Amino acid sequence: MEKRLLFAIFHVSFALMLVLVHGQDIPGFISIDCGSLDNYVDEQTGIYYTSDLQYLDVGRGENYSISPQFKTRNLAKQLWNVRSFSRGRKNCYTLRPSQGKNNTYLIRASFMYGNYDANNQFPVFDLYLGGNKWNTVKVKDTDNLITMEIIHVPQSDYIFVCLVNTVSGTPFISTLELRLLNNDSYIVPSGSLELFARLDCGLSPNKLVRYENDVLDRIWMPVNYEEWDVLNTSSAVDPFNVFNPPSLVMSTAVTPQNPDEALLIKWSTDDNSTAEFYITLHLAEIENLQENQTREMNMFVNDRKWYGPFSPEYLRATTLYGTKVDKSFSIRINKTENSPLPPVLNALEIFTVKPMFQPQTDQNDVDAMMNIKSTYELKSKSIYQVERDWQGDPCMPSNYTWDRLNCSFKGFDPPRIISVNLSSSELTGEITPYISNLTMLQILDLSNNNLSGTVPDFLSQMPYLRILNIENNNFSGTLPVGLQAKLNSDSLSLRAGGNLYLCLTNPCKKEDKKKTNNVLIPVVASVCGFLAILLTAGVIFWCLKRRKQDTTASTNVNAESNKKDEQLEPKKQQFSYSEVLTITNNFERIIGKGGFGTVYYGFFDDSQVAVKKLSVSSAQGYKQFHAEAKLLTRVHHRNVTALVGYCDEGPNKGLIYEYMANGDLAWHLSDKNAHPLSWEQRLKIAIDAAQGLEYLHSGCKPPIIHRDVKTTNILLNEKLQAKLSDFGLSRAFPLEGDTHVSTIVVGTPGYLDPEFFTSNWLTEKSDVFSFGVVLLEIITGRPAITKQNGKGHVIEWVKPRLSKGDMTSIVDPRLVDQQDLNKISIWKAVELALACVSPNSAKRPTMTQILIELKECLGMEMA
């Protein structure tokens, strides 16, 4: 998606105003002149640039100079050299700023082709930040300078900037810069900020402001219009805020020539698709106003009032900022009616919000791999060069995982390394202890190298290691006792032949050698064991009381009801059929139909109840009735419908639930509801339902899979608090060992995990899938499956619209009119829902993660 500013086009010739020579590194700055062999202080900015060699693996890329005709005094020295990467799919710079993760960094990459390769062909390639695509670099001209800038908060101490060859020319880069920003500035919860324009209003044309006028080294471009007047001051403007707009930038401002007109700035996306923009306006009064003078103004974004009335303070910078999703934008600043003076604007920045969906690999794993790589690269160059792409993040993006490595990808969790194959890699020396830091490692192949020394004991401490191959090396001594024990317990498969001096037993016996030659002991995936667990699971069953840190009133209620539960024997919850008749007044009023029977209104013990009468014809019903009754008497959570009691008299079976005055969610989302739920209400309902599911998955032991999560099974009480109902399909399933249950029971079409059809397994992630469908219904107001036209699943309906960035068409039209919605929270919810309905269950988040995300959405909405 290209964006276009409708007004000025800037011809940037790096004509910088400053000649300042600084000594050394500036804290929080990394400044790399790619392709250069020298370190030097840049004459124009005083910034210390270094060669790129220390940020790259040895031997990566080739250094070049651009064609001499472009090396003029006007072109900054750091653009005179480039590094190009003719080999490897992906080549990365590894930045490790000393301030580490979770800080806000500006990262800027510049590309000036300058016909460095004398080919006069313009390459196109991709730029990645860790596992996420940042942008595509399209060189359009020989002397065209392309600068890409992103503001990013890394979740790991490593920042990988990678150039990816897309087979349309050789990737190259001129400079790479990193600047530490204030943690509290330029924050959006949903991603990183890609610079679209950073404008200094009223600055003289052909000038730029950067370090050290801007201590953060942002590059400000001049902007002015014919219909604008310029104000200036020679006094310093106090930046006074976390954005720290430079005094020089703030000391000029523009104002409309006709004081009654507005300052108007417009831009749009090129392809009419919506995008989320982050806008900052920097304002300060730079005229020394008389007491009887006032300047007061209002800001409008797309003709909606954004902020105001506002009077800038004299020589003090104020920054207004916010985000909005749309395809075209106008910012209009006009004076208020009682302001004699026209509006002013000193500077503005416009960013697009770039979602960063791909997590970075677990930092301990990255540290370990980096250390393993550097330990062995001294001795064996083949390990990382040319044929092996050991570049950037080890696991991400998942189609560029390091060669000979396999990772596990689970939803939003950082990927983990689970297998490493260094077979035939000319490794020498001992097995590096850094291997032990790969704590999730399952498979390690070190065969056919020249490794020597003893087999280290730490291998036996690695909890998940199940296949180890150290064949054909020069190991000596005896196998550690711990590894022998693992072999004996069949939890490890070991190949250790071809090591002349290695004994597999202690004490060493001669005949061992023969035996060891091909010891392959299979890992036990004990089918019997699994079945046994399954059988006992039905018997041993209880729910843990959750110990939540935030002890809310409702958790106290839980504790109490649990206590009551212990005192009351199950018998007290059992009702006779005649009692049920009294409660329901002879089944007078039907209030719903559940999976296995009709639900009637009742009155018991001064409170309303819902009585589900099991239909006699329901063949499965009897089994499910017991399952449900057993489960529900043990499940206590404020987001799960409470079972008051049950009736079990021969063919007359019924369940008595608390009454949910507001019926089910499906009705509330449907057209039948004349008072559509607000976005905030919807979010709260989603959170309630997620809490209920999270409790079933994580708070119950063994966990419970609901198996039939859908909008008709989410009930609302008089306060619109949501609770899960209908556990008819739930079964306990084992906690340890395999986390899935084979079953013949199938949930509701439209909500059923597609993996079920191939695997016949239902897991917690199946509930996550169904929950994702529910979330999409909540957002769109559309049912899971639209009956018209036969096909029409809500997932298929949302996806094309989202990929067009067309948010407004996704959201329930009855919501849009209600209020000025927080688009980020909706956007985030859509992303979350789509992650839940990922066809691959491993990519779905857990209910715990979902809950965190939803609460963030709600937080944004309330803020």
Ligand X SMILES: *[C@@H]1O[C@H](CO)[C@@H](O)[C@H](O)[C@H]1NC(C)=O
DSSP lists the bridge partners of residue 265 as: 331
Choice between 92 and 262, CB closer to ligand X: 262
Residues in the chain: 863
Choice between 52 and 688, CB closer to ligand X: 52
DSSP lists the bridge partners of residue 475 as: 453
Q: Is there binding between residue 332 and ligand X (CB under 6 A)?
A: yes
Are 353 and 193 contacting, i.e. CB atoms less than 8 angstroms apart?
yes
Least distance CB 200 / ligand X (angstroms): 12
Residues 612, 659: Cα–Cα separation, whole Å: 11
Of 295-303, 306-314, 632-640, 702-710: span binding ligand X (CB under 6 A): 295-303
708 is catalytic: yes
38, burial (CB in 10 Å: exposed 0-12, middle 13-18, buried 19+): exposed
Site for ligand X in 19-48 (CB under 6 A): 37
Q: Which of 103, 385, 555, 573 binds ligand X (CB under 6 A)?
A: 103
Least distance CB 235 / ligand X (angstroms): 9
Q: Is there binding between residue 63 and ligand X (CB under 6 A)?
A: yes
Token pair for residue 801? 């619209």
C-alpha distance from residue 757 to each of 565, 748, 766, 792, 839 (Å): 39, 13, 11, 19, 11
By CB under 6 A, the count of residues binding ligand X is 38
DSSP for 678-726, written as a single string: PHHHHHHHHHHHHHHHHIIIIIEES-EE-S---GGGEEE-TT--EEE--
Q: Is there binding between residue 294 and ligand X (CB under 6 A)?
A: no
Residues 715, 485: Cα–Cα separation, whole Å: 53
Choice between 366 and 609, CB closer to ligand X: 366
**Pairing mode of beta strands 48-51, 40-41:** antiparallel
Q: Which of 205, 309, 433, 859 binds ligand X (CB under 6 A)?
A: 433
List residues forming the annotated binding site: 613
Residues 312, 253: Cα–Cα separation, whole Å: 12
Annotated catalytic residue within 708, 726, 753, 767: 708
Token pair for residue 17? 């105003």
Q: Which of 25, 38, 227, 271 binds ligand X (CB under 6 A)?
A: 271
Q: Residue 588: which of 604, 575, 600 has the closest Cα? A: 600
DSSP 398: G
Q: Which of 74, 119, 183, 461 binds ligand X (CB under 6 A)?
A: 183
CA count, 13 A, side-chain hemisphere, 558? 22
Least distance CB 643 / ligand X (angstroms): 39
DSSP for 841-860, written as a single string: GGGSPPHHHHHHHHHHHHHH
Least distance CB 816 / ligand X (angstroms): 19
Choice between 74 and 258, CB closer to ligand X: 258
Q: Which of 120, 234, 567, 789 binds ligand X (CB under 6 A)?
A: 234
Choice between 118 and 744, CB closer to ligand X: 118
List residues forming the annotated binding site for ATP: 613
Residues 308, 393: Cα–Cα separation, whole Å: 46
Q: Is there binding between residue 52 and ligand X (CB under 6 A)?
A: no
Q: Is there binding between residue 423 and ligand X (CB under 6 A)?
A: yes
Q: Which of 115, 382, 436, 717 binds ligand X (CB under 6 A)?
A: 436
Of 63-71, 220-228, 490-498, 529-537: span binding ligand X (CB under 6 A): 63-71
Alpha helices in 568-610 (DSSP H): 577-584
Q: Which of 7, 240, 300, 310 binds ligand X (CB under 6 A)?
A: 300
Token pair for residue 369? 């791999």
Q: Is there binding between residue 71 and ligand X (CB under 6 A)?
A: no
Q: Is there binding between residue 272 and ligand X (CB under 6 A)?
A: yes
Instruction: Kindly give the interhelix angle for 794-803 and 764-780, rounded to the nearest 10 degrees.
Output: 70
Choice between 396 and 690, CB closer to ligand X: 396
Q: Is there binding between residue 292 and ligand X (CB under 6 A)?
A: yes
DSSP 775: H
Choice between 290 and 617, CB closer to ligand X: 290
Residues 444, 435: Cα–Cα separation, whole Å: 9
Among all residues, which ones are annotated catalytic?
708
- The footprint of ligand X (CB under 6 A) covers 37, 63-65, 102-103, 182-183, 232, 234, 262, 271-272, 290, 292, 298, 300, 303, 332, 334, 336-337, 364, 397, 399, 404, 406, 419, 421, 423, 433-434, 436-437, 443, 445, 467, 469
